[in-house]
Amino acid sequence: GSLERRRCLYLRTGRACCQMVEVLVAALILVCSSVSCGSAGGYTGLPALGGIYYYQYGGAYSGFSGADGERAQQLDQRFYLLKLPIARAAMAVGGCLLVFPCVLILVGVLRVPWHFPGWLLIECTLYIVIAVGTVPALYYFLHSLLSVYNSSGCKEREQLYESKGYQGFWCSLHGAEIAAGLLGCMAAMAYLLSAGLAVRDYRTIHEQNQKPLQL
C-alpha cells in the first residue's frame, strides 16, 4: 500500500543513490583484492601463460629444468605467502565496506531516520570516521605491497623468469592493485558526500518536525 510506496521512494533519494554507489565500489574493491592474492601456484592471470589449470599443473614451468624449476616453485610460494596477509586484509575491509551501506539502505527503507532523526547524525559520524580511516588503510595497503615487490625474493623471481623468456613477473604494482587503490579513494569521497547528505536530510526532517509546533 502507501507504506510500501513511501519505503520505495527512499531508493530514489540522493543519499540512497550514493549508498548504492558505495556498494558497487566496495564490491569492486573486494574483487580487485582477490585478484591481487592470486593462487598458491603463483598464477598472475597473464593470458600468455594459459589458464589456471595449465599453470598449477606444471605447464608454466615447461621452460625450466632441474634446480631452476624447483627454485621457481619455491620463489612463487614465498611470493604468494608474502602477499597473502595483505590481500586478506584488503578483502576483509572490502567486505565490511560492502555490508555497511547495505545496512544503511535497509535502515533508510524502514524509515528509521524519519522516526529517529538523531540516527542521521550517527550515520554522518560513521561516514566521516570511515572516510578518514580509508587514508591510512590505503597507505598501509600500497606500502605493504611495495615492500613485497622490493624484497630480494621478488627480484630473484623476476630475474629467473625473465632468463627463461617469461614476461609479466615484474616487481611492481599490477592493474588490480592500482584499481583497488583508486577505488578506495573513490569510496572515501563517496562517504564524505554521504555525510553531507545525511546532515542535509537531518536539517530537513528537523524543520518539518518543527512546523506543527510553530503553527
User: pLDDT tens-digit profile of 141-189?
Assistant: 999 999 999 999 889 888 888 887 777 788 888 888 999 999 999 999 9
Query: Is residue 99 situated within a structural domain?
Result: yes
Q: Work out the mean pLDDT of the chain and round it to a whole number.
A: 81
Cα 106 from chain centre: 21
Least confident of 40-44, 131-135, 163-167: 40-44
Task: Write the pLDDT tens digit of every residue in 22-36.
Answer: 999 999 999 998 887
Query: Is residue 66 situated within a structural domain?
Result: yes
Query: Is residue 215 situated within a structural domain?
Result: no
What is the DSSP track for 46-70?
-GGG--HHHHHTTGGGTT--THHHH
CA distances in angstroms from 195 to 52, 67, 133, 164, 199, listed in the order given: 43, 58, 14, 53, 6
Look at phi and psi of residue 43 and say left if phi exceeds 0, alpha if psi is from -120 to 50, else beta. beta
Q: Which domain holds residue 167?
A: 2-205
Number of structural domains, the chain? 1
111 confidence band (pLDDT: 50, 70, 90): confident
